[in-house]
Amino acid sequence: MITENNIAHSKTADCSQCTIRSRSLFGTVDESKMRMTQKYRDKYCRFSAGEVIHNERDSIDYAFTLRTGCLILYNYLDSGERQILRVVLPGDFVGFSRNNKGELLYSIKAETDSGICLFFDDNVTKMINENSEIAKRLIDLQSHEMSLCQQRVLNLGQKNATESVAYLIMELYSRIRVQSPDDFNFATGEAFFPLNQADMGDALGLTKVHVNRVIAGFKEQGLLTCGRKKMRVIDEESLSDIAQFDIDLIEEPFRQFI
């Protein structure tokens, strides 16, 4: 949860020096306006790996951009099993969509040490009203996430286990390369992969054993290598074909909104 202990000094998050700005809410803001737009940010907060930021169905009066690290959004089902809804990477905007009671319908947890730039609702409203480019950017971000969400629903409902695991790997691997380049070795193709096999099962509705079996098959085919939260996709074209994955959804996220 957000407490005074989580709040870092604002100088640690200068918007003009932000390495993920091109993918974030301020991505279309002119460089000359960055000092002005920074006034809308209320806090910069840090969380340790495993820390819960928000509990499902609690009211919320802020939204935030993930600056560093990785978060997961999830629900617990009546059976006690967990369903991971989304993996949040740097530049993603979270907390804007709520129900009519102002509640978020999912929990948020830091999968790794993470930092967020927080905007209270009053400042989000001011930011949108005073800056048309930010308002359009927010629409683009929400529309892009909806496109990805629709593909994830298709992945859960219409694909077999092999296709589903391949899709999850390709989507997250591609997003890490674009959104979190510090976690991607461009020389070797190896990425820090934040989900373990149990997490992947929770995202896909599969058992850890089933996920392990599918990944073992990919290794035998020479499609990838992995271990200790590291992943290297050796043959992206073949794994994308198996997954029916369109990499342009990641590399050209706003193409459909131009």
CATH (residue range 4-132): 2.60.120.10
- How big is the CA angle at 153 (ends 224 and 254), to the nearest 5 degrees? 80
Confidence band for 29, pLDDT divided at 50, 70 and 90: confident
Least confident segment among 16-25, 66-75, 195-204, 218-227: 16-25
Please state which of the ranges 13-17, 134-138, 166-170, 211-215 shows the lowest mean pLDDT. Answer: 13-17
**Cα 97 from Cα 103, distance rounded (Å):** 9
- Cβ(193)–Cβ(172) under 8 Å? yes
pLDDT tens readout for residues 105-134: 999 999 999 999 999 999 989 988 988 888
Q: Give the max Cα distance, the chain.
A: 55
* CATH 2.60.120.10 residue spans of the chain: 4-132
Which strand (E) or helix (H) includes residue 193? none
Please give the structure tokens belonging to residue 186: 């461009």
Q: Report strand pairing: 114-120 vs 107-110.
A: unpaired
Structure confidence at residue 16 (pLDDT)? 62
Q: Give the containing element (helix H, strand E) for 6.
A: none
Q: What is the pLDDT of residues 35-62, one digit of tens each?
A: 667 788 888 999 999 999 999 989 999 9
Distance CA 94, CA 104 (A): 10
Domain 159-257, architecture per CATH: Orthogonal Bundle (1.10)
Name the nearest CA neighbour of 25 among 101, 74, 96.
96
Ranges in the chain annotated CATH 1.10.10.10? 159-257
0.95 cut: is pTM over it?
no
Whole-number pLDDT of residue 11: 47
In this predicted structure, what is the pLDDT of residue 141? Answer: 82
Instruction: State what percent of residues in the chain have pLDDT above 70.
Output: 85
How many angstroms separate the CA atoms of 75 and 84, rounded?
A: 7
The residue behind tokens 């003009």 is 16
For residue 21, what pLDDT is reported?
66
Would you place residue 10 in the very low, low, confident or very high pLDDT band (cuts 50, 70, 90)? very low
Confidence class for position 257, pLDDT limits 50, 70, 90: very low
At 72, is the secondary structure helix, strand, or coil?
Answer: strand
Q: Name the band, by pLDDT with cuts 50, 70 and 90, for residue 258.
A: very low
Cα separation of 188 and 184, whole Å? 9
- Sequential DSSP letters for 212-236: HHHHHHHHHTTSEEEETTEEEES-H
Task: Please tell me the predicted confidence (pLDDT) of residue 84.
Answer: 95
Note the pLDDT of residue 8: 57
Give the model's pLDDT for residue 137: 84
Query: 2 phi and psi, to 5 degrees?
Result: -80, 120
Averaged pLDDT score across all residues of the chain? 87
